[in-house]
Chains A and B, each alone.
Chain A
Amino acid sequence: MADETPDLRAGLPATPAGEQPGEPVPRIGHDEWVARAGERIQTQRMKEQLGRVHWVVWFAIAVTVLAFVPVITSDQYIIRVGADTLIYALLALGLNVAVGWAGLLDLAYVAFFGFGAYSYALVSSDKFGQHWPTYAALPAIAVATGFVGLVLGLSSWRLAGDYLAIVTLFFAQIFTVVLLNGDKISLLGGVFGVDGSVDITGGPNGIAGVDAFHFGSHQASRVSAYFWIALVMAAVVFFFFVLLDDSRPGRAWRSLREDNLAAELMGMPVDRMKLLAFGLGASVAGLTGTVFAALNLGVYPQTFDIPFLITIYAMVILGGAGSLVGVVLGAAAINIPLEALRPETSLSSWTSDGRWLFYGVVIATILAKVRPWKWAIGIVAGTIGVGFAVRAIFEAAWPATVHGHLLSSSTGEVPSGVMAGFIRHYALLPTSGETFGKWAFVALMLSVCLLVVLPWRREVKYCCLPFVIYIAALAWENLLVPESTTTRLMLLGALLVVLMIERPQGLLGKHRVEVV
């Protein structure tokens, strides 16, 4: 048989097609050959070799490394961020059951979290003089919250998609209303208390003075204790969820997400599986709520509202709904940068190094996205040239525009070094930097919009790019760096937008096909 395309065989085993009876080699360009393309690529092979190590090994390594965080550092702030991240990770894992696996848009999830936290506060504080032992309170609350999840899950029997989302959102809102007004609950025209009402949730003041976790005579009073408790919980939940994913209920959930009706007709009790998804997710949320309440020594109604819900959703979606490793990474990827970009903290080297990140990201983006190469290099060079030229003109004409300081954020630290010197001779730094920065920001927004909307040829737009980037640099140096508290949220938002454009399925989510 004549081989017409010998050069394509480079990556294939040496045996030609059809000569080995045992293991037939797929024909080039045909179905199987295309499907197996991954195996012939080096990185894919490495991935495969790494994948041969049992996942439990990776899991054990990750948990062990994390367990040492409070040992390595004595910085309470870092440990606190770690504990918060683990709490978020637990919540994301719980939300993933309904949203990632079963595909049910459950917006009441934050209420389950709040239910767990308030339940713990009620049975472990002076509010009603109840001080349950932790080992009794935790399972009881997990089960109770799971039951609430089952009941609210009933709405998923008749509602799907957006409609389910709206109804569960109402449940979440009802929950916060109950929390806020739960300090004057009266039944049957007032049978309790002095003025005919009873205080259960503490109203807007919440419940303070919640007990720390206590096991026998041991009190978990240090933050690191909660870090380890949250780590154990997250590890256990993660471990069991991985097993659950690859089993009969896991398959049933994914099936009903893919096609409700087909799942029912293939013998899966869809309604029951939906309730179980709601219930299981809710019990994880309830359990997490107890840790949250004990760690913060109190529960307050404002916590359990929409912004918190959106944060958890962002974590699940960013990480990749349906992927357990993904949602945990999503929790870390959102919570840690948010904290790291906070200007006042020990994690942050924002004022000294953070500002240079801007230039790195801009140059990297241009080099990665603009082709051909000469244009990419041209734009980078142009940006630098435009900066020095504009500054030279302004210095000659209006010297006041360059006499300001290189501003840093609230800490008042003035940056120094080669880069700082470069920026001083590059950007315009007027004495009233803030006002100037605001104008630059408005100009930046306008010019970006124009650049996107105007029907110019690409080359023309490339020519404009250095000017736009320079305006961005002015806004960055004069407004965004000094206002870093707001900027960190903007940066995170921008990061999310870029990520969702580049990877709509999330960091580790599988690419999903809806209709083919």
Chain B
Amino acid sequence: MNHQPLLRIAGLDKSFGGLSVIGGLDMEVAQGEIVSVIGPNGAGKTTLFNLITGIYPPDGGDILLEGQSIVGLDPHEITKRGIARTFQTLRLFLNMSVKENVMAAAHSHTHAGIIRSMLRTPGQRREEKAIHTLAEEKLAFFGQRLMGYRWNQPAYSLSYANRRRLEIARAMAAEPRLLLLDEPAAGMNPVETHEITELIGRLRTEGGYTILVIEHDMHVVEGVSDRVIALDHGVKIAEGSFESVATDERVIEAYLGLRTSETK
């Protein structure tokens, strides 16, 4: 089964009103790969993520996770199947503690319901302990930044960069196979950006995740990607290694426009 891609998108279409946001998109992400999606603002990158995670239903085409279609499933079912994401505009559970943010995301692969939680059955206690360990493990991935005294602090007290890290930790706690990172380096300073680049690499080597990442910072894209997919107006305009995509004429045109001599 190794030759089957983890994620396969075939002929995906989505339009809002008359505006076609994704048009006939085909792409694949292989197991263990890190793929970057780039494109100018409005290219449809975040919409692509929203379609994969089930926030919007696609108008046409199919999304297959390990050969099984996930179109039409509720977002929480898709998460359960093994896709978790972070958000470009941070969406943490601000008034919950740092640790609780991560623990909450363990919901899809844990089971204790209302009755068992109220009765504190042995199974529930064991599971709760495992959730604590899981959260601590995921937070430890970021060194000392989200450890110790921070566990019990509300998420709103974190700095911007730490919030981005916490979002990643939270997505990790859902135990996905495919991790979707929506602009993980947005708003970060150069040092933090460098750190994020390393972190994404470690997510693959140590965490074993397959990663699809949207990113505007080309240093990050260059540093992490096995493959780059460039979108413009919802259409794939280039695909391949960073070098080939970065020098692709259509990509340059999408970002910078045509030279005046060519516009005639």
Which residues in A have some Cβ–Cβ distance to B below 8 Å? 31-32, 35-36, 240-241, 243-244, 247-252, 254-255, 258-259, 261-270, 276, 280, 510, 512-514, 516
Contacts and interface: CB of A to CB of B under 8 A. Distances in A.
A247 B92 contact: no
A52 B80 CA distance: 38
B93 A244 contact: no
Contact of B92 (A243, A254, A262, A280): A262
Given A251-B104, A265-B75, A269-B76, A258 B156 contact: no
Given A254-B96, A512-B95, A265 B114 contact: no
Interface stretch (B4-12, B117-125, B199-207, B247-255): B117-125
B174 A251 contact: no
Interface in B166-211: 170-171, 173-174
A348 to B, nearest CB: 40
B126 interface: no
Contacts of A248: 106-107, 110-113, 117, 127-128, 131
B250 to A, nearest CB: 32
A270 B76 contact: yes
B175 to A, nearest CB: 9
A516 B157 CA distance: 9
A252 B124 CA distance: 15
A362 B112 CA distance: 53
A268 B108 contact: yes
B85 interface: yes
Given A249-B114, A265-B85, A516 B79 contact: no
Contacts of B95: 254, 258, 510, 512-513
Most buried by A among B100, B114, B170: B114
Contacts of B91: 259, 261-262
A516 B94 contact: yes
A266 B104 contact: yes
A243 B119 CA distance: 8
Interface in B58-100: 74-76, 79-80, 84-85, 87, 91-96, 100
B140 interface: no
A35 B100 CA distance: 18
12 contacts: A247-B112, A247-B124, A249-B113, A251-B107, A254-B104, A255-B96, A261-B55, A266-B105, A267-B79, A280-B114, A513-B95, A513-B156
A143 B76 CA distance: 28
B92 A265 contact: no
Contact-residue size bin, chain B (C-beta under 8 Å from the other chain): 35 or more
Given A248-B128, A262-B93, A266-B76, 11 more contacts: A35-B149, A36-B149, A247-B117, A248-B112, A254-B93, A255-B96, A258-B92, A258-B93, A262-B87, A266-B107, A516-B156
B213 interface: no
A199 to B, nearest CB: 38
A31 B149 CA distance: 11
A249 B113 CA distance: 6
B107 A252 contact: yes
B230 interface: no
B118 A243 contact: yes
B174 to A, nearest CB: 5
B6 to A, nearest CB: 18
Contacts of A247: 112, 117, 124, 128
Nearest to A241: B118
B154 interface: yes
Contacts of A266: 76, 79, 84, 104-105, 107-108, 170-171, 173-174
B21 interface: no
B74 A267 contact: no
Contacts of B174: 266-267
A249 B53 CA distance: 22
Contacts of B94: 258-259, 513-514, 516
Nearest to B108: A267
Contacts of B76: 264-270
A265 B79 contact: yes
Contacts of B75: 264-265
Contact of A35 (B55, B127, B157): B157
Most buried by B among A32, A262, A280, A512: A262
Contacts of B103: 251
A267 B80 contact: yes
B104 A243 contact: no
A264 B74 contact: yes
A243 B79 contact: no
Contacts of A249: 112-114, 117
Contacts of B108: 266-268
B31 interface: no
A259 B92 contact: yes
Contacts of A244: 114, 117-118
Nearest to B167: A262
Interface in B127-170: 127-128, 131, 148-150, 153-154, 156-157, 159, 170
